[in-house]
Chain A
């Protein structure tokens, strides 16, 4: 149990276009989902926290108008990178908190990630 999927697993887009990444909790309901970004040989950096039915909370330095997050249902959150530029090329990972299993912060399950390359 506690499976999180992401789609697509990798995407190449042209500079100036937008790309949407989906994050789904497959076998549990996630009231809270998180979006991380990882540059090569660097740590996972939290970009934003999204709660179902409300606006996402962005970390300092993350442009909310550029990285649009929608958490429309208990099993789906989307991250849209708008007007992508080469510097947005990165590995994006989502995670989902399974509040039904327990209150521990470790009850956070990660997706496999999406590799975005902007040319």
Chain B
């Protein structure tokens, strides 16, 4: 049972445009959400997170939006750069920012390609 889903396995965007990566979840107990970026042969690196008490969190070019009623979150990258080309995973946890039992549930990832 995939509790966190990323329905788009890949996304291609032109440099300078906006990249929008989507993520849906089914477990209503999730209250903290994270986005990770992964390059080939490297482990995922933390990018940005959002608590369920918020609907938006922004950090530079990266903004995460959360729609609790729809159980949907999205990551916006503006402007997109070639160096952003990577696999992006969304993840969710219960227990707020401290993560309760530390367990992260990951989506399947979206391969973003930013073209010149």
Contact = CB atoms under 8 A, between A and B. Distances in A.
Q: Does B bind A?
A: yes
Interface of A: 4, 6, 9, 32, 34, 36, 41-46, 49, 93, 95, 97, 103-106, 108-113
Interface of B: 2, 4, 9, 32, 34, 36, 41-46, 49, 89, 93, 95, 97-99, 101-109
Q: Which of A46, A97, A104 has the most CB of B within 10 A?
A: A104
Given A46-B104, A49-B102, A105 B42 contact: no
Given A9-B41, A95-B43, A105-B34, A41 B9 contact: yes
Contact of A105 (B45, B93, B107): B93
Nearest to B46: A106
B43 A113 contact: yes
B4 A103 contact: no
Contacts of B9: 41
A44 B98 contact: no
Q: Which of A42, A103, A104, A105 has the most CB of B within 10 A?
A: A105
Contacts of B44: 44, 93, 110
A110 B32 contact: no
A48 B41 CA distance: 22
Contact of A43 (B42, B43, B98, B109): B109
A34 B102 CA distance: 9
